[in-house]
Structure 1
Amino acid sequence: MPYGQVNVAPTLGRRALLAGTGGALMLAALPTSARASHTTTASAPTATAGAARTSLVSQGTMLVHADMHNHTVASDGDGSPEAAFASMREAGLDVAALTDHATLFAIEGLSSSEWRTTGDLANAANDPGQFTAIRGFEWSHPLQGHINVWNTSDFADLLRAGSPGSLYNWLTGRPGGLASFNHPGRELGRFNNFSFSASARDQLVGLEMFNRTDDYLFEGLSSGLTSPLVACLNAGWRPGLTGVTDEHGTTWGFHEGKGRSGLWVTENTRAAVFEAMAARRSFATRVSGLRVDATANGVRMGGVLNVTSGDVRFLLDLDRGPVWDGKPLRIQVLRPGTSVPTVVDVIDTVNGRVTDFTVPLNVADGDWVVLRISDPSLTNGTPGPAGHPCNDFGVAYTSPWWLRS
């Protein structure tokens, strides 16, 4: 049976080509640190049991651990797609996607036959209730950036959609399709600086805050750019926040310290996973086994608050299980700023605790709020301005809430 779309509310090997003219074009748009990360050897696989999957602040859903951004030899990865889903399931992931690059004329990315093969492999690996296997693709522009797309019956390369705007038009013609801004800020064009498309807003459900081992909160700031989080949310987009490994090697899923996502689903099936993504019931992290759930005035992260101004009560459920018993952590309340987020409150907490706190919010200061969880004993590898409260080590981000305007 061909890979189906779920309805919800892409003689010379490609690795050689990527190292040659086409690859040089893509890599030339990357800062030195990002180019180097393409050849970084993955750390040895580790595992941790982590926390229970039931939220202490909401009901009706369970936590699944997901990685929605992975590559194989179908584009610029090293490993066979036939091995990828089994590796991710063995590593303990509950939800996993293959998203090989779609570039131009299938020269450096997916071909139509590889797209069909990936769908067949996802169907074979999919085990409703236990493991959700998903086919997607990564629309890849060397200057404007990369966007993952899932839950479509076809894919768009740069011939079909040569700009972010044309990709949004393509996507809105596929109502069940969902998409994410990948490693935001790495490519200099930054999706035409996150130029907003109202028609595509509901389908752009993700913004990668952790990609590989990097925290993207301050990406590009040293070059005079705005924080990708601030630029994206201030432009009017309403994504959930995510973490991904962006795996290009052969040990899919076995990476402690690389990005991953938590999703709050009603069941572990494709339909329920896509519903949770569309509802922005997600959090970004780069540690395994972490549980994060949060409400603001009873509204779960990813939702809209019926508030224009006033005190907002937050409940944050944060737990990684016994491995982090008693570990001091910090909650930073992020609000809109000009170039970096404004931190309006910082709350000390401990792993395994539900933290209850109240923050005054006013839509006149901006219509979004995000909680960042950090480890104050470690430093941010990509720091912001001197003295910024988020210059410590990011552990997780909740999806935003939006204030009624």
Structure 2
Amino acid sequence: MKIARLAASVVVCLGATAGCSGPETVRSAPTIVTPSVTIQQVQPRSQRWKDVAGPRLRARAELVDVVAEGPRQAWAVGFEDGAEDREGTVVVERWDGTAWKKTTLDRELYVSGFDVGGPGDIWIVGDGVAIHGDGRRWSYPRLSGLGEHRFTDVSAGRGRAVLVGTDPARQTSFAVEWIGRKFVRRATVQGQFGAVTARHGQVWVVGAGLRDGCSGVRPAVWHAGPDGTYAEMPLPDVPGGYLGQVWATSPDDVWAVGGIGGETTPWFACRTGGAAPGRAEALVMHWDGSSWQRVAVPGGDGPLVSVTASGPGDVWAVGSGSGDTTVALHFDGRAWTRERIYDYPLGRVAVTAVPGTPELWAVGAANHEADYGRDVILRRR
């Protein structure tokens, strides 16, 4: 799962009167792009999203990603005791159905990716460090032969872990797979790997491709089937666009989110083009088994940073807004709705569906750029 710092955006109601409280609805087939929706009014925070108390973390604290395997099994990762010039100590929190409990790791790290294949298969990556938990202890497997590199994401499941990263100096990216006790190199490509999901016997990596250096940024998707060969896929041309998160519910239903223009994301070596800083827009793409298409979503929001889904008719994406808010977009198979889930930006906000339920978890951090920043956990039931 991928984490990214992105510019904020305004969150509002469509065609509503003063004091509206329900979500905005935008009718759109998932493979049709329509003009941006005209925004008329600020939308109040949805009452469906509730704050949940977690373990007390020392400021500056932040949660950056969350994974759920069921109503009684969820994990969140972040840090505590951070400062303006460094990340703090890594913390992993686990939900047991009643409360969140934390484990502190003896490591400072800028966490950029996190996934859980089960209680005995937890992966955390960031900078040039990979951390693996087997349920009893934490280890730090090393990746050799790449020189300077930075991990950007990891996907784990069924005894398999795929890690992706970049070499910003050369604008190249790599994918490796953890096989028992060692890493095996799977791909090295020109471009920027931002996020990965390895599910259903397939690997999907999203990020950005570069044409003519940093002046030609475009969203990019790479795919690997059972034979392990990575190939870049044809996508609609979106100048200045990039993808920072991906989720697959099946080989024929894959969702990717990101933005167009705006400020640089931490995994990306170039500043993205196409829009002035602070005026970026959301980007959603969908794979239906035959082609990738850009998906129309409600207008007025900035980049989306996290996506989750339980099926083609239940897709959620979250991002930040320039109106100092955090927004969630939901697709029910026929239409998109927007909910404002927090009255302030939540830093590297992340969302995950809870399998077998209609519930969602979201995590982030309020005042995330200040020394008194605090972690936030939200639940939608």
Length-normalised TM-score, structure 1: 0.28
Q: Which has the higher contact order (CA 8 A, sep 6+)?
A: 2
Normalized per residue, the structure richer in helix is 1
Normalized per residue, the structure richer in strand is 2
Length-normalised TM-score, structure 2: 0.29
